[in-house]
Every structure is written in C-alpha cells, then in structure tokens.
Amino acid sequence: MDANNILLFIFGQLVTGAAIWGGIRVDLRNMHTRLDEYGGDVRRAHRRIDDILNGRGHNRESHDNG
C-alpha cells in the first residue's frame, strides 16, 4: 500500500466511525425523550399499585390527573 491508499483508508475509517457515533447519539436522545414521555404513566401506575397493595382500592378518575 502506498501513502495515498493508507490515508484514504484512515479517512474512510474516521468517516465511518463518526457516522456510527452520530447514529448512536440520535438513538440515545430518542430513548431519553421516550423515557421522559413515559415518566408520568409510570408514576401513575406505581400510585395505583401502591393503592392496591395498601388496601385503599383504586379510583381511576382521582389518579389520572396527576
């Protein structure tokens, strides 16, 4: 391999690595967005489970608002 081929190979590897890194960052950002969106649902579900386990029953209308 001559110097031009080596430099072209290294450049290609850097571009490929940057593209993969960028894709991973986008995936992580999307996962965090979904987790934030689901946070309220998870809190309400935990509240309902706690109510059932503590014997207070469950009144859906009183818990859906917060």
Average pLDDT value for residue range 15-25: 97
| Alpha-carbon distances, residue 24 vs 6, 20, 28, 30, 35 (angstroms) | 27, 6, 6, 10, 16
Q: In a 3-state reduction of DSSP, which class is residue 57?
A: coil
pLDDT band at 41 (very low <50, low <70, confident <90, very high): confident
pLDDT at 57: 67
